[in-house]
């Protein structure tokens, strides 16, 4: 994996922007769903699917693939959009999100969509599943890496810590967890709802290797994943500090955008009937940097 | 005595002094070892109850395939789901109150809805747990498991059947719930007793009894039971038969998918049913029987089980009596059912 060259970073940035547009369009079409988390995790998903993961979109059940477990299933619009861009299915299909008969269920359903490693949504159970996969792969002498993407809010759930304890005891070198540390959950800011800090010290106490990174810095993220793979005596937690709503300015850092799509959110910056168009415009023009945009 | 000869029960089935005794959880322990020997993908996870769930023998023989989970049943269910994703066949062991009790949502979402093959071994089900009291007496577990799609629910009647069910679970698909009891109960089936998941077995049938052949041709009542109380149903049947009442006793070990054919035939042959289970009447095996009967062939049903209460401390036999599930209560229920025809 090594160092990312400037060209590669540019390519990833472009891809992440396209993925943000796709996921916002799918949310507008769906009329419900979560906005802030998916936007905030778009860079991480892009890096994983377009650089890090050993996977084959044409053979989703390839046994030698790495496993990506999405624990906080409600951010699935970003996973769907990324998978579509990676070639698992057509980008057009992302418009079926949350509609009757869709493979893109409101929360991910594994057997509906090839390429999903699990069914998720109820918070706090993803790390356990990832731990189970890592233990089983190790039993079989396999080298595949299990990546578990988690939210910060789901650290309110006791099960997360049960899994963290077990992973620490088992010294699961093949497990890399990435926490979306965006500081928001549905009811407010995480530190107001149920203080989580010091997260680094907590995971270290449970026997994990912990790395803090900027969640929108491809270089830092990539180095952290390389480091995690080089730590052979412990599981690794990458605490990715992200901006919820990243890429759509009027949503950024605002917990009120956790669980609603454009068109259904707070109206203090844009009225509901303008929210969708504004979000797409921001992403298409790269926040005004491209002046020639005609919408 | 009208024991169905095809059921190959032990000869001393009705003699409480002579019939062997063992808890059904012992059969689970033996079954785990046999399943482990047959299939190297079988793994066992246990939540700090290795001895009392009888997971110990497997842990000793296959330490590399045993995972001690600590007191963390929710984690255990989801870890098992993850292991199944990589091709393992996990059995998860705890008390039924905690698994599938405490971890029901994890079982629902990460195992059943996620279509993973995981076997849930729930020990210490029923009030016969005894002195530990209601906190540890699962009497809701059949209801909460049978309501789940992609779930098979099996309640073995004795230790021999428990072993068969455990071994058979490996070959099933999706989630499987195996319900076991703590207390020793009669071991009245044998290795030769037929056992097939999804097929109820007729253990007793008075209509075939030579001494009664001159009487009415049809049965008077059929008793459909599961778990160790099947033995109480047999004792009740022997007593009823002596008084000229013709009875069929069915060991309805698979609650889901239920053997509709055998249940409906019993309703047609007898015209009145009694269901017997060491579980809440609400939502349990009897309710599942009633769902089949009301849709297809309505007949009176009397339900023997716990009546919308929690358990309590006491000796197992005292509790079975106290909560109205002894052979005496089954006899009374049979008479009520017949009267309602």
Per domain, the residue ranges of chain B are 5-19+190-339, 20-187
Is it the case that residue B218 has pLDDT exceeding 70?
yes
Is it the case that residue B191 has pLDDT exceeding 90?
yes
- CA of A128 to nearest chain B CA: how many angstroms apart? 5
Q: Which of A120, A131, A137 sits opposite B79 (nearest CB)?
A: A131
Contacts of A137 in chain B (CB under 8 A): 86
Is it the case that residue B214 has pLDDT exceeding 50?
no
pLDDT, tens digit (0-9, with 9 covering 90-100), for A110-123:
999 999 999 999 99
> B95 CB contacts (<8 Å, ≥6 apart)?
B49, B52, B53, B101, B122, B123, B124, B136, B138
Predicted confidence at residue B1, as pLDDT, reads: 79
Contact B81 A163 (CB under 8 A): no
Predicted confidence at residue B212, as pLDDT, reads: 47
Confidence of residue A291 (pLDDT cuts 50, 70, 90): low
Predicted confidence at residue A118, as pLDDT, reads: 97
Predicted confidence at residue A292, as pLDDT, reads: 53
Predicted confidence at residue B98, as pLDDT, reads: 98
Active site residue B161: no
Contact B85 A121 (CB under 8 A): no
Contacts of B69 in chain A (CB under 8 A): 166
Is it the case that residue B209 has pLDDT exceeding 60?
no
Question: Could you tell me which CATH number the domain at B5-19+190-339 has?
Answer: 3.40.50.920
Q: What angle do CA B180, B183, B188 make, to 5 degrees?
A: 75
- CA of B104 to nearest chain A CA: how many angstroms apart? 12
Please give the average per-residue pLDDT across B139-165, as a whole number: 98
Please give the average per-residue pLDDT across B97-115, as a whole number: 98
Contacts of B105 in chain A (CB under 8 A): 122
Predicted confidence at residue B208, as pLDDT, reads: 73
Mean pLDDT for chain B overall: 96
Is it the case that residue A295 has pLDDT exceeding 80?
no
Q: Which of A118, A162, A165 sits opposite B114 (nearest CB)?
A: A118
Contact B284, B155 (CB under 8 A): no
Please give the average per-residue pLDDT across B4-27, as a whole number: 97
Q: Tell me the sheet residues that pair with A210.
A: A237
Contacts of B86 in chain A (CB under 8 A): 132-133, 136-137, 140, 142
Please give the average per-residue pLDDT across A138-155, as a whole number: 97
Contact A125 B80 (CB under 8 A): no
- CATH architecture classification, A6-284: 3-Layer(aba) Sandwich (3.40)
Is it the case that residue A273 has pLDDT exceeding 50?
yes
Is it the case that residue B61 has pLDDT exceeding 60?
yes
Predicted confidence at residue A290, as pLDDT, reads: 64
Please give the average per-residue pLDDT across A184-192, as a whole number: 94
Q: If you measure CA to CA, which chain A residue comes closest to B76?
A: A128
Predicted confidence at residue B178, as pLDDT, reads: 98
Contact A163 B83 (CB under 8 A): no
Please give the average per-residue pLDDT across A245-261, as a whole number: 94
Q: How many CB atoms lie within 10 A of CB B128?
A: 27
Does A259 contact chain B (CB < 8 Å)? no
- Helix and strand numbers (H, E) in chain A are 10, 7
Interface test with B, best of A106, A108, A124, A128 (most B CBs within 10 A): A128
Q: Which of B82, B32, B316, B148 is nearest to A159 (CA)?
A: B82
- Lowest mean per-residue pLDDT among A216-225, B11-20, B216-225, B301-310: B216-225
Give the residue extent of every domain in chain A: 6-284
CA distances from A229 to A21, A120, A147, A160 (A): 31, 25, 11, 22
Task: Please count the CA atoms within 13 angstroms of the CA of B153 that sit on its side-chain side.
Answer: 24
Contact A135 B83 (CB under 8 A): yes
Question: Could you tell me which CATH number the domain at B20-187 has?
Answer: 3.40.50.970
Q: Which candidate in B56, B73, B183, B241 is catalytic?
A: B73
Contact A136 B86 (CB under 8 A): yes
Contacts of B75 in chain A (CB under 8 A): 128, 131, 159, 162-163, 166
Is it the case that residue A2 has pLDDT exceeding 80?
no
Please give the average per-residue pLDDT across B98-112, as a whole number: 98
Using CA atoms, how far apart are residues A18 and B4, in angstroms rounded to an integer?
71
Mean pLDDT for chain A overall: 95
Is it the case that residue B213 has pLDDT exceeding 50?
no
Q: Mapped to the 3 state alphabet, what secondary structure does A195-233 carry?
A: CCCCHHHHHHHCCCEEEEEECCCHHHHHHHHHHHHHCCC
Q: What is the model's pTM?
A: 0.95
Which region holds residue B234: left if phi is over 0, alpha if psi is between -120 and 50, else beta?
Answer: alpha
Predicted confidence at residue B217, as pLDDT, reads: 52
Predicted confidence at residue A288, as pLDDT, reads: 67
Please give the average per-residue pLDDT across A252-259, as a whole number: 93
């Amino acid at each position: 994996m090594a160092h990312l060259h400037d060209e590669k970073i540019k390519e990833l940035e472009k891809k992440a922007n396209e993925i943000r547009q796709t996921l916002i369009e799918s949310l507008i079409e769906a009329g419900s769903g979560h906005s802030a988390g998916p936007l905030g995790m778009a860079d991480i998903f892009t890096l994983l699917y377009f650089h890090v993961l050993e996977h084959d979109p044409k053979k989703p059940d390839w046994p030698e693939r790495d496993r990506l477990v999405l624990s906080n299933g409600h951010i699935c619009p970003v996973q769907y959009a990324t998978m579509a861009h990676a070639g698992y299915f057509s980008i057009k299909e992302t418009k079926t999100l949350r509609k009757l008969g869709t493979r893109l269920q409101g929360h991910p359903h594994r057997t509906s969509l090839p390429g999903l490693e699990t069914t998720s949504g109820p918070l706090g159970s993803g790390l356990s599943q990832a731990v189970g996969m890592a233990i089983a792969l190790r039993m079989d002498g396999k080298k595949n890496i299990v990546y578990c993407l988690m939210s910060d809010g789901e650290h309110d759930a006791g099960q997360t810590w049960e899994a963290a304890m077990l992973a620490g005891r088992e010294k699961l070198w093949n497990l890399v967890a990435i926490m979306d540390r965006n500081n928001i959950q549905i009811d407010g800011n995480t530190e107001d709802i149920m203080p989580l800090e010091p997260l680094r010290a907590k995971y270290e106490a449970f026997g994990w290797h912990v790395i803090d990174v900027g969640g929108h810095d491809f270089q830092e993220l990539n180095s952290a994943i390389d480091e995690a793979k080089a730590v052979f005596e412990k599981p690794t937690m990458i605490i990715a500090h992200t901006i919820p709503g990243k890429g759509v300015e009027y949503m950024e850092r605002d917990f009120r955008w956790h669980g609603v799509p454009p068109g259904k959110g707070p109206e203090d910056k844009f009225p509901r009937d303008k929210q969708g168009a504004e979000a797409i415009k921001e992403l298409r023009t790269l926040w005004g940097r491209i002046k020639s945009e005609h919408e | 005595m009208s024991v169905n000869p095809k059921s190959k029960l032990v000869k001393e089935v009705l003699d409480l002094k002579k019939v062997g005794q063992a808890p059904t959880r012992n059969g689970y322990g033996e079954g785990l070892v046999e399943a482990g020997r047959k299939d190297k993908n079988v793994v066992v996870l246990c939540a700090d109850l290795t001895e009392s769930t009888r997971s110990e023998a497997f842990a000793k023989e296959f330490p590399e395939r045993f995972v001690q989970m600590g007191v963390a049943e929710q984690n255990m269910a989801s870890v098992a789901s993850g292991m199944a994703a990589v091709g393992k066949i996990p059995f998860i062991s705890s008390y039924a109150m905690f698994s599938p009790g405490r971890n029901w949502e994890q079982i629902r979402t990460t195992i059943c809805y996620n279509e993973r093959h995981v076997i849930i071994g729930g020990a210490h089900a029923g009030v016969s747990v005894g002195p530990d009291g209601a906190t540890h007496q699962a009497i809701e577990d059949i209801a909460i498991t049978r309501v789940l799609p992609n779930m098979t629910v099996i309640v073995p009647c004795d230790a021999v059947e428990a072993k068969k069910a455990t071994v058979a679970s490996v070959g099933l698909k999706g989630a499987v719930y195996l319900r076991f009891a703590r207390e020793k109960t009669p071991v009245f089936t044998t290795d030769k007793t037929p056992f097939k998941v999804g097929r109820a077995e007729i253990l007793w049938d008075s209509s075939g009894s030579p001494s009664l052949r001159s009487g009415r041709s049809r049965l008077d009542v059929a008793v459909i039971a599961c778990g160790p109380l099947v033995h109480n149903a047999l004792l009740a049947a022997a007593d009823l038969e002596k008084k000229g009442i013709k009875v069929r006793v069915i060991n309805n070990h698979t609650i889901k998918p239920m053997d509709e054919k055998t249940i409906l035939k019993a309703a047609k042959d007898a015209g009145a049913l009694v269901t017997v289970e060491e579980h809440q009447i609400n939502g349990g095996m009897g309710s599942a029987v009633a769902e089949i009967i009301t849709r297809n062939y309505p007949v009176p049903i009397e339900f023997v089980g716990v009546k919308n209460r929690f358990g309590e401390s006491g000796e197992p036999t005292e509790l079975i009596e106290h909560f109205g599930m002894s052979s005496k209560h089954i006899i009374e229920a049979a008479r009520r059912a017949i009267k309602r025809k």
